[in-house]
Chain A
Amino acid sequence: MDVVQLQSRLSEYLKSLFNDGTLDGQFLQLQQLQDESNPDFVVEVVTLFFSDSEKLLDDLSSSLEQPNVDFRKVDAYVHQLKGSSSSIGAQRVKNACIAFRGLCEEQSIPACLRCLQLVKQEYLYAKNKLETLFKLEKQVVAAGGSIPSLDAGS
């Protein structure tokens, strides 16, 4: 495949991620911050997000399995996850976190566990999509092209 085709495939893929709500405008801001002085900014940040989130999700699971669940701690973890996901623009993860926080107020363990599952699902979905995106970007760069920048409007 030639560069142009690869680039158009990349653009289409990115657009689809916006359309299904996986990503929001914040991700575009991240992309804008990537320049010659900081060529792998997006990848670095997203990788950081992955490691951070995985740790948080593990912590969440173990907290909810405690005999006496400390909902304040759970809420704190979810808050962190919400912060991270909103920083990179992972919209669905963020929304799931918001819902999760609501359930923490209720202090209902089964509901929280179910919501945790949901959050995990969303996270894995987003991770999957982003990893694919990066793979496509690598392909474009390998083929000698540059990553097209998407403007905020579309």
Chain B
Amino acid sequence: MECCFDPQWPADELLMKYQYISDFFIALAYFSIPLELIYFVKKSAVFPYRWVLVQFGAFIVLCGATHLINLWTFTTHTRTVAIVMTTAKVFTAAVSCATALMLVHIIPDLLSVKTRELFLKNKAAELDREMGLIRTQEETGRHVRMLTHEIRSTLDRHTILKTTLVELGRTLALEECALWMPTRTGLELQLSYSLRQQNPVGYTVPIHLPVINQVFGTSRAVKISPNSPVARLRPLAGKYMPGEVVAVRVPLLHLSNFRINDWPELSTKRYALMVLMLPSDSARQWHVHELELVEVVADQVAVALSHAAILEESMRARDLLMEQNVALDLARREAETAIRARNDFLAVMNHEMRTPMHAIIALSSLLQETELTPEQRLMVETIMKSSSLLATLINDVLDLSRLEDGSLQLDIGTLNLRSVFNEVMCLIKPVASVKKLNIVLNLAEDFPEYAVGDEKRLMQIILNVVGNGVKFSKEGSISITASVAKAELLRDTRTPEFFPVPGDNNFYLRVQVKDTGSGISPQDIPKLFTKFAQNQSPALKNSGGSGLGLAICKRFVNLMDGHIWIESEGLGKGCTATFIVKLGIPEKMGDTKFPLIGQSAAKRVQTSFPGLKVLLVDDNSVSRAVTKGLLLHLGCEVTTVSSREECLRVVSEDHRLVIMDMCVSGVDSYDIAVQVQDRFTKRYERPLIVALTGNTDKLTKENCMRVGMDGVIVKPVSIDKMRTVLSDLLEHRVLF
């Protein structure tokens, strides 16, 4: 085809050459592009259009192949080459069309991918921003928690406030942080704490500034002007652009604010002011989250402060209580010491005073029996009278102290009322007749003959009252009226404290003593029953007496659930003394007295105790023989020992009863009781231990009870008494 035409210009060779080369390079490129594509696509994992690539690759390869084969067609070529060329071109055409068609679909897709990519990038940027915000918030929250922790970790007011300021300053990178507290008067705010200044002194601002009111009016943090008085804490230097200032109120909660169901009322209107300043020249601004932080912190501080206040209060209260406790304890111990001292004194004086008195009285009465000259007899009688008086006085004083501390107990027994009054009459008649006074006793018709009560003390009361009547009368008559008080007459408006309760077993005895003596002026009447208070009128100074009589009477009357009072119209008009006491009604005749053992008369009393093994401890041979005889008479089997060691040696569980005479000389008999008890581990094996003593006082009885003795018998012991004691002991296992 080429050879028939125009002769080729020599440039044809060149052209041919260049064409040849270009075709070659094209082919090369065509072949290498798909290789590159394959290589890079293989590398990338996400390319979605692989099939397209294959297609594209095939297209390119075929194009390359075409160009390559073209190389052989420049010169004459065989038919094979032509066929190959044609095939290649056909394929290439097919693939390229297919690819072209494909691209129509693909390119829009690819473009939209790009759009999506842009969109995602925007979204990512947005999320980043949000993340940043959240992180900031979380940090703020962390700061708040940390601040709160710091603030609440201490209960000291100053530490709380100082810590708050320091931590806030640190967290928010503040330039200055200050706290203004209201003064005592409540009219000013005083700078109390500041971050930069260690000891702020002297700064005060009046509380009613508008800016302050504005801040106090809301619970939120309020931006205030840097020029307001609360913010002007540092010297203003011209070039500084002060940073923004925020103020927030801190409620000062009072204890009484915390009610159970309500939230604390913030109407107390006591607030402190916290002022926070950003660093100047920093162009920082208060962000919302920072303001929130400040508000939260202000609330926490308020709570922490009130906790601190509560704690302070309670510590103070506790200290006060402790002090009071100590003081009370001391006072109690002092009182106890005083009481013990008094009791000791009384116990000693009881014995000490009575013993010499006994001696004096006994010896003077003995002396009276001997041969005496009249003067001597007179002297001895005077001694007797004086010593009896003294003995009575001592007894009175001791009785009174026993009455006062409540240790006196009445000796209840059956008494013959009529004989009591008769005895009183017998005693008082001689004295009265000497003074030429007339005494009249009126007993009512229904006057009971017998009653149950303390005979000795009743007589003492009557004697005292009648005696007073006689003492204070120079002439005239004394009348004594005794009757059973009727219930309606018992209640007296003059004596509202007296509430008589008549019952089935008792009645109220009313005794009235009228005299025509010197009388008592109304203002002296209340003092009558006060001990030691004497009637000061000169006419009566010589009548003697200690002033105790009526006081003791009153106490006895009170012990008998009664009441005593004196009435008088005035001086010179005589007086009337009346008392009412409660007495028991005796059950039937044959009631006998058992002062220490109890009213057991109605009970069946064992008359004999055969086989009862008793161990008797007494170092006095005579009294031992007597007690032994007594026990033998009652049928017991008696073993006697005369000393403590023997007692401990001999005692065994065979003995049901150990009787110990408390006069075992020099040795503490209570000790033996304890030792005997210690020997027996089981309670039922242990013998009953009873003390035999001449002492009637309460202390002995108490001591015996204390060491665990089962009873006390007072000497002298009669057969009947011993019988009853043994009976009671065996029945009840205890005598107390």
Chain A residues at the B interface, C-beta cutoff of 8 Å: 25-26, 29-30, 32-33, 35, 37-38, 41, 44-45, 48-49, 52, 76, 79-80, 83-88, 95-96, 98-99, 101-103, 105-106, 115, 118
Task: Let me know if B621 is at the binding interface, CB within 8 A.
Answer: yes
Contact partners of A76 in chain B: CB under 8 A: 665-666
What is the bound-complex CA distance between A41 and B623, given in angstroms?
13
What is the bound-complex CA distance between A150 and B1, given in angstroms?
195
Q: Given A32-B719, A45-B629, verify A98-B359 contact (CB < 8 Å).
A: yes
Complex interface bits, B152-191 against A, C-beta within 8 A gives 1, otherwise 0: 0000000000000000000000000000000000000000
Do A102 and B715 touch across chains, with their CB atoms under 8 A apart? no
Contact partners of A79 in chain B: CB under 8 A: 663, 665
Task: Let me know if B366 is at the binding interface, CB within 8 A.
Answer: yes
Contact partners of B629 in chain A: CB under 8 A: 30, 33, 38, 41, 45
Contact of B622 among A33, A41, A52, A118 (CB under 8 A): A52
How near does chain A come to B388, taking the closest CB pair, in angstroms?
16
Offer 20 A-B interface pairs, CB within 8 angstroms, sorted by A. Answer: A30-B629, A38-B632, A41-B629, A45-B622, A45-B629, A80-B619, A84-B620, A84-B621, A84-B622, A86-B694, A87-B627, A88-B626, A95-B362, A99-B363, A99-B366, A102-B356, A103-B359, A105-B352, A105-B355, A106-B356
Task: Let me know if B391 is at the binding interface, CB within 8 A.
Answer: no
Task: Let me know if B383 is at the binding interface, CB within 8 A.
Answer: no
Contact partners of A118 in chain B: CB under 8 A: 366
Contact partners of A83 in chain B: CB under 8 A: 620, 622-623, 663
How near does chain A come to B378, taking the closest CB pair, in angstroms?
22
Do A98 and B358 touch across chains, with their CB atoms under 8 A apart? yes
Chain B residues at the A interface, C-beta cutoff of 8 Å: 352, 355-356, 358-360, 362-363, 366, 619-623, 625-627, 629-630, 632-633, 663, 665-666, 694, 715-719
Contact partners of A26 in chain B: CB under 8 A: 716
Q: Which residue among B359, B715, B716, B719 has the maximum number of chain A CB atoms within 10 Å of its CB?
A: B359
Q: How many inter-chain contacts with C-beta < 8 Å in the A-B complex? A: 91
What is the bound-complex CA distance between A95 and B369, given in angstroms?
14
Q: Which residue among A37, A41, A76, A115 has the maximum number of chain B CB atoms within 10 Å of its CB?
A: A41
Please classify the interface of chain B as helix (H, G, I), strand (E, B), loop, or mixed, using the class held by over half of its residues: helix
Q: Which residue among B363, B366, B666, B716 has the maximum number of chain A CB atoms within 10 Å of its CB?
A: B363
Contact partners of A115 in chain B: CB under 8 A: 363
Contact partners of B632 in chain A: CB under 8 A: 33, 37-38
Do A87 and B356 touch across chains, with their CB atoms under 8 A apart? no
Contact of B633 among A35, A48, A84 (CB under 8 A): A35
Contact partners of A105 in chain B: CB under 8 A: 352, 355-356
What is the bound-complex CA distance between A101 and B665, given in angstroms?
15
Cβ-closest chain B residue relative to A84: B622
Contact partners of B663 in chain A: CB under 8 A: 79, 83
How near does chain B come to A30, taking the closest CB pair, in angstroms?
7
Do A48 and B621 touch across chains, with their CB atoms under 8 A apart? yes
Q: Given A79-B663, A118-B366, verify A102-B355 contact (CB < 8 Å).
A: yes
Q: Given A84-B620, A87-B626, verify A33-B362 contact (CB < 8 Å).
A: no
What is the bound-complex CA distance between A32 and B629, given in angstroms?
10
Contact partners of B715 in chain A: CB under 8 A: 86
What is the bound-complex CA distance between A71 and B613, given in angstroms?
39
Do A33 and B366 touch across chains, with their CB atoms under 8 A apart? no
Known A-B contacts: A45-B622, A86-B694, A87-B625. Give 16 more (CB < 8 A).
Answer: A32-B633, A32-B719, A49-B622, A52-B620, A80-B665, A83-B622, A83-B623, A84-B621, A85-B622, A87-B622, A88-B622, A95-B362, A98-B359, A102-B356, A102-B358, A102-B360
How near does chain A come to B313, taking the closest CB pair, in angstroms?
63
Do B719 and A29 touch across chains, with their CB atoms under 8 A apart? yes
What is the bound-complex CA distance between A87 and B717, given in angstroms?
9
Do A33 and B633 touch across chains, with their CB atoms under 8 A apart? yes
Cβ-closest chain A residue relative to B359: A102
Contact partners of A33 in chain B: CB under 8 A: 626, 629-630, 632-633, 719
Do A80 and B620 touch across chains, with their CB atoms under 8 A apart? yes
What is the bound-complex CA distance between A137 and B358, given in angstroms?
36
Contact partners of B622 in chain A: CB under 8 A: 45, 48-49, 52, 83-85, 87-88
What is the bound-complex CA distance between A72 and B465, given in angstroms?
44
Contact partners of B358 in chain A: CB under 8 A: 98-99, 102
What is the bound-complex CA distance between A95 and B363, given in angstroms?
9
Contact of A29 among B359, B625, B694, B718 (CB under 8 A): B718
Contact partners of A88 in chain B: CB under 8 A: 622, 626
What is the bound-complex CA distance between A61 and B246, given in angstroms?
111
What is the bound-complex CA distance between A80 and B632, given in angstroms?
23
Do A45 and B626 touch across chains, with their CB atoms under 8 A apart? yes
Do A30 and B626 touch across chains, with their CB atoms under 8 A apart? yes
How near does chain B come to A122, taking the closest CB pair, in angstroms?
9
Do A101 and B625 touch across chains, with their CB atoms under 8 A apart? no
Contact of B623 among A35, A84, A96, A98 (CB under 8 A): A84
What is the bound-complex CA distance between A30 and B352, given in angstroms?
33
Do B355 and A48 touch across chains, with their CB atoms under 8 A apart? no
How near does chain B come to A116, taking the closest CB pair, in angstroms?
13
How near does chain B come to A81, taking the closest CB pair, in angstroms?
9
How near does chain A come to B625, taking the closest CB pair, in angstroms?
5
Cβ-closest chain B residue relative to A21: B369
Contact partners of B665 in chain A: CB under 8 A: 76, 79-80
List 6 A-B pairs, minimum CB-CB distance, nearest first: A102-B359, A84-B622, A87-B623, A99-B362, A87-B626, A83-B620
Contact partners of B718 in chain A: CB under 8 A: 25, 29
What is the bound-complex CA distance between A56 and B445, given in angstroms?
59
Cβ-closest chain A residue relative to B665: A76
What is the bound-complex CA distance between A29 and B626, given in angstroms?
9
Cβ-closest chain B residue relative to A44: B625
How near does chain B come to A109, taking the closest CB pair, in angstroms?
15
Cβ-closest chain A residue relative to B356: A102
Contact partners of A87 in chain B: CB under 8 A: 620, 622-623, 625-627
What is the bound-complex CA distance between A25 and B718, given in angstroms?
9
What is the bound-complex CA distance between A32 and B719, given in angstroms?
8
Cβ-closest chain A residue relative to B620: A83
Do A52 and B621 touch across chains, with their CB atoms under 8 A apart? yes
How near does chain B come to A108, taking the closest CB pair, in angstroms?
11
Do A48 and B625 touch across chains, with their CB atoms under 8 A apart? yes
Contact partners of A25 in chain B: CB under 8 A: 716, 718
What is the bound-complex CA distance between A85 and B716, given in angstroms?
12
Q: Which residue among A30, A86, A88 has the maximum number of chain B CB atoms within 10 Å of its CB?
A: A86
Q: Given A45-B625, A106-B356, verify A29-B716 contact (CB < 8 Å).
A: yes
How near does chain B come to A125, taking the closest CB pair, in angstroms?
12
How near does chain A come to B718, taking the closest CB pair, in angstroms?
5
Q: Which residue among B621, B632, B694, B717 has the maximum number of chain A CB atoms within 10 Å of its CB?
A: B621
Contact partners of A48 in chain B: CB under 8 A: 621-622, 625
Contact partners of A103 in chain B: CB under 8 A: 359
Do B716 and A101 touch across chains, with their CB atoms under 8 A apart? no
What is the bound-complex CA distance between A103 and B352, given in angstroms?
12
Contact partners of A99 in chain B: CB under 8 A: 358-359, 362-363, 366
Contact partners of A35 in chain B: CB under 8 A: 633
What is the bound-complex CA distance between A32 and B723, given in angstroms?
13
What is the bound-complex CA distance between A105 and B355, given in angstroms?
8
Contact partners of B717 in chain A: CB under 8 A: 29
How near does chain A come to B669, taking the closest CB pair, in angstroms?
14
How near does chain A come to B396, taking the closest CB pair, in angstroms?
20
How near does chain B come to A152, taking the closest CB pair, in angstroms?
8
Contact partners of B666 in chain A: CB under 8 A: 76
Q: Which residue among B358, B362, B694 has the maximum number of chain A CB atoms within 10 Å of its CB?
A: B362
What is the bound-complex CA distance between A35 and B608, given in angstroms?
14
What is the bound-complex CA distance between A115 and B716, given in angstroms?
25
What is the bound-complex CA distance between A95 and B361, given in angstroms?
10
What is the bound-complex CA distance between A29 and B716, given in angstroms?
10
Cβ-closest chain A residue relative to B365: A95
How near does chain A come to B5, taking the closest CB pair, in angstroms?
179
How near does chain B come to A84, taking the closest CB pair, in angstroms?
4
What is the bound-complex CA distance between A35 and B719, given in angstroms?
13
What is the bound-complex CA distance between A95 and B633, given in angstroms?
28
What is the bound-complex CA distance between A32 and B630, given in angstroms?
9
